[in-house]
Structure 1
Amino acid sequence: MYLSAGRAADTAQGLAPPGRRTPVPATVIVLGLVSMVTDVSAEMVTAVLPLYLVAGLGMTPLAFGALDGLQQGATALLRIVGGRVADRTRRRKLVAGAGYAMSAACKAALLAVATPWSVAAVLAADRTGKGLRTAPRDALISLSCPPGEQGRAFGVHRAMDTAGALLGPLAAFGVLWVAVDGYGAVFTVSACVAVLGVVLLGLFVRETPAPASTRAPTPARARTPVPARAPTPGLRTLLRVPGLGALCLTAAALGLFTVGDAFLYLLLQRRLDLPAVYFPLLPVAAAAVFLSAALPAGRLADRRGRHRVFLGGHVLLLGACLLILAPFPAGPFLAVGVLSLLGLFYATTDGVLMAAAGPLLPRELRATGLAVLQTAQALSRFAASLLFGAAWTLWGPGTALAAAAGGLLLVLASTGAIASYRIRGARRFGGVSGPGAGGCGSTPPSPSRPGPRRGR
């Protein structure tokens, strides 16, 4: 995390002035459609999975925690592989498409497995596909828009993605309502929808144009020699990117105490004594809030600082945990409060984190750098799922949730104190803090155009 150099430095870095916005790039819109269709498929499975495994196949909370963590961990190293391959080959669309195709195949494979750990193996392969595609896809989004509008671009994409997350559980609910073999029917429809997402990607998504220096010469300049394509920088280059290490550390520390939404849905269902057929509707409510808040959260992050919004999102997650732990009677207000806070948590963290990292990274390492950040977060959430599942088994759900909430509060307090200390130190030595001061997505000052200084 480091400090903004003010509006002058933002302008030097090519950030759009407030009130003058360019249209959302077509690449962002099309990738949003692909993600929306794919998320319909994925959330159909996710909506029924906790009950299918715990109630249908008899999986214990500890085993479910291990499985939930495996889904997080399976994507970790593959994110770096996918990002690195995409950067080296400059074929980000192809790498992302391979990941989408792998996930579509896994949806069909769920029809052929019937034991908890065979399901776990298929889900791990599905998450592998997600790991391959996520960083190249986010790199395509980041490269298609200027640094000052990263939050808006990712907000638009995440809003469309969340529309799929909203429709997926509704589709699962409808299939369970009318089908005799409910789970098998859900998996069949999910596989068909996933194939549609792969087709949309192949037909309509275009690679981000290469920089002008690497394109072929125009006919008027046919005799001008074309510069050779520069080699992709090594991974060690990422170590020298200012702010990236602190951003990874912050995301990993918070992820270590982030309770997975599947666990929160199970806990809420127990508090409400909700019938199993209505369980898929819980993600629908959270997704509706996410959908409505994703774009405003992205714009707020662009204006007020991505670090502030990212930390604020985890405060909302802490609030959801405390609501579940609260001693008042369960009822509609509890459900509305928890699901609203959970949806706002994802709206203020998911795309905002990628928007914070994008402007920090060079073009040639955009996918790799985003993959490193995503891997740090995925590994910490993998550990969080294992620890929470073990704590639930040993001490019960209430104690496990209280321990997670306490750890999250400790990390938030520590991170806020460090950011406040750095802001005070910068002001003491003449630094300038703009709207994004202390933000992990703030823009560093330009070497050729330093930002304004305060008087001595």
Structure 2
Amino acid sequence: MYVSASRASDAARGLPRAAAGPAVAGNVLVLGLVSLVTDVSAEMVTAVLPLYLVVGLGMSPLAFGALDGLYQGATALLRLAGGHVADRTARHKLVAGTGYALSAVCKLGLLAVSAPWAIGAVLAADRAGKGLRTAPRDALISLSAPPEGQGRAFGVHRAMDTAGALLGPLVAFGVLWAAHDAYETVFTVSFCTAAFAVLLLALFVRDVRGKPARPVPPSRRGPGPAAVLRDPGVRRLAPAAALLGVFTVGDSFVYLLLQRRLELPAAVFPLLPVATAAGFLLLAVPLGRLADRAGRGPVFLAGHAALAAAYLLLLSPLGGAAAAVLVLVLLGAFYAATDGVLMAAAGPLLPAPLRASGMAVVQTAQALARLAGALLFGAGWTYAGPGAALACAAGGLVLAIAVLRASGILEKEALR
């Protein structure tokens, strides 16, 4: 649909196809559909899990907090394993499919367990599946798109992925309403949806093989991440992403601050993530195309500048609905300008045999930095208050952007 609309628009403006940019590959569209369906399944569970565990099973908030931390942090290092195995075997589709299948089976696992340790094991396995599939999937997207079309390809994929995140809670609400609050029905429907995504991947996604456009130099041959780190572009990109990640406050903290500082009604709180996802969905493709034209590094920095602006707006005396909407738009713009754009910047730096491993290194550096940042922000909130913690995060982010901008590390030429 997107490809057809894009071509029609270009034709209406009288632009030749070359000027309009490359079409989005079918592999990318199918992978986007797989992610959309998978996110519907995942967000169905995410939307009901707190109520199911705390209200349905009587789990204490402390125990749920520990499980939530495990659920969110179990992917970082497994991304390295998934990328390494995919590159060593040249079977990106198989490794990604294994990750998708593992997460699907875990939805059924929630029906079979009730003890906190068992639920923790199921959630950890679900996140293991996500960690395993992320780098091979992104490598397939990158290998399926030409170098000049990386931003558009990742923008289309992330837009479809976010559409699933928007639909998931709505589907969960509908299932709970129809099944009279039977959580087991939600898990069953979630499993069936995830299994359908695995089937789509198995039938319609193809591995991208053949002679790579960039052969692996002898100095970079070797096992996985160690070989990737010899690439000067990756050595610039990964630390830059990590530096910015340290000052990236988690969404949950932003929503809490938004609700407190702008005095939003409690009933509005569940809608805040939906509004952010809607902004991400609308901006992912345009900003991906802009990254292809203007440079992925500058767009990546601009996304973090939007996040810094959101922090400063939260620190300002402005209030009301307009300020709340602007914060959410800036947060959605941040994700649209960074999530897929970072992978679009990493892909062309790496030869095909190291593509998944290299992307996993960059993703893991960013994920670990964000985990450290979340811990630091939580400690700052506890001991100095939310305002002081947010001011430190905003100041650090502005300083990091200025340093990276002045150094030219993320300029288009520096990443080649």
Offset at 1:332? 2.5
1:144 corresponds in structure 2 to 144
Residue 115 and residue 265 in structure 1: after superposition, are their counterparts in 2 closer, same or farther (change >3 A)? Answer: farther
State the SS of the aligned residue for 1:88: helix
Counterpart of 1:411 in structure 2 is 400
> How has the CA–CA distance of structure 1 residues 88 and 396 changed in structure 2, closer, same or farther, with 3 Å as cutoff?
same
1:252 aligned onto 2:252: no
Distance 1:204 1:383 in 2: 39
Letter in 2 for 1:193: T
Equivalents in 2 of 1:283, 1:63: separation in Å? 20
Which residue of structure 2 lines up, in the alignment, with residue 36 of structure 1? Answer: 36
C-alpha contact (below 8 Å) 1:95/1:133 kept by paired residues: yes
For residue 103 of structure 1, what is the aligned residue in structure 2?
103
Per the TM alignment, residue 166 of structure 1 is displaced from its structure 2 partner at its CA by 1.6
Q: Deviations over 1:31-76 (max 9, x none)?
A: 000000011122233345567778885525x984x65554453212
Q: Distance in 2 between matches of 1:321 and 1:92?
A: 38
Q: Which structure's residues are more often helix, by fraction?
A: 2
Q: Which residue of 2 aligns with 1:274?
A: 266
Aligned-partner Cα distance in 1 for 2:404–2:297: 10
Amino acid in structure 2 at the alignment position of 1:351: G
Is this contact kept in 2: 1:243–1:440, CA < 8 A? no
Tell me the residue number matched to 1:439: 411
Equivalent of residue 358 in structure 2, options 369, 375, 382 = 369
Report if aligned partners of 1:173, 1:281 keep a CA contact under 8 Å in 2.
no
1:166 and 2:140 matched: no
Give 1:158 deviation, angstroms: 0.9
Deviation at 1:296, TM superposition (A): 0.7
Q: Which residue of the partner structure matches residue 200 of structure 2?
A: 200
Give the TM-score, by structure 1 length.
0.77
Unaligned runs of 5+ in 2: 1-15, 214-219
Q: What are the superposed Cα offsets for residues 352-373 of structure 1, whole Å, 9 maximum, x if unpaired?
A: 0000010000111011111111
Task: Look up the match of 1:383.
Answer: 372
Secondary structure of the equivalent of 1:321?
Answer: helix
CA contact (8 A) 2:93 2:136 kept: yes
1:356 corresponds, among 342, 345, 366, to 345
Letter aligned with residue 294 of structure 1: A
The whole-number CA distance in structure 2 between the counterparts of 1:116 and 1:273 is 33
Superposed CA offset, 1:265-303 (max 9, x none): 34434541322xx64432221111111111111111111
For residue 285 of structure 1, what is the aligned residue in structure 2? 275
Task: Could you tell me which runs of 5 or more consecutive residues in structure 1 were left unpaired when the two chains were aligned.
Answer: 1-15, 214-230, 423-437, 445-456
Q: Deviation at 1:442?
A: 6.0
TM-score of the aligned structures, taking structure 2 as reference length: 0.84
- Comparing both chains, which one has the higher relative contact order based on Cα–Cα distances under 8 Å and sequence gaps of 6 or more? 1
1:194-237 C-alpha deviation (Å, 9 max, x unpaired):
22211111121111132299xxxxxxxxxxxxxxxxx9743443
CA distance in 2 between counterparts of 1:262 and 1:189 reads 27
Alignment partners' CA distance in 2, 1:40 and 1:374: 23
Conserved 8 A contact 1:47-1:279: no
Distance 1:49 1:266 in 2: 19
Specify whether residues 267 and 174 from structure 1 end up closer, same or farther in structure 2 by C-alpha distance, changes over 3 A only: farther
Alignment-mate amino acid for residue 368 of structure 1: S
Task: Report the alpha carbon displacement of residue 120 of structure 1 after superposing the two structures with TM.
Answer: 4.3
1:133-159 residue CA offsets vs partner (Å, 9 max, x unmatched): 011001111111211111111111111
Taking structure 1 as reference, are residues 328 and 115 closer, same or farther at Cα in structure 2, changes over 3 Å only? farther
* Residue 179 of structure 1: how far off its partner (Å): 5.2
**CA 1:69–1:253: 2 relative to 1, 3 Å:** farther
Q: Closer, same or farther in 2 for the Cα pair 1:368/1:212, shift >3 Å?
A: closer
SS in 2 for 1:19: helix
Cα distance change on mapping 1:194 and 1:240 into 2, 3 Å: same
Q: What's the Cα RMSD here?
A: 3.0
Residues 368-424 of structure 1 show CA distances to partners (whole Å, capped at 9, x for unaligned) of 1111111111111222222233333444433333332232222222222222xx7xx
State the alpha-carbon separation in 2 of the partners of residues 153 and 347 from structure 1: 13
**8 Å contact kept, 2:237–2:415:** no
Answering whether residue 285 of structure 2 is matched by residue 295 of structure 1, we say yes
Q: Which residue of 2 aligns with 1:452?
A: none
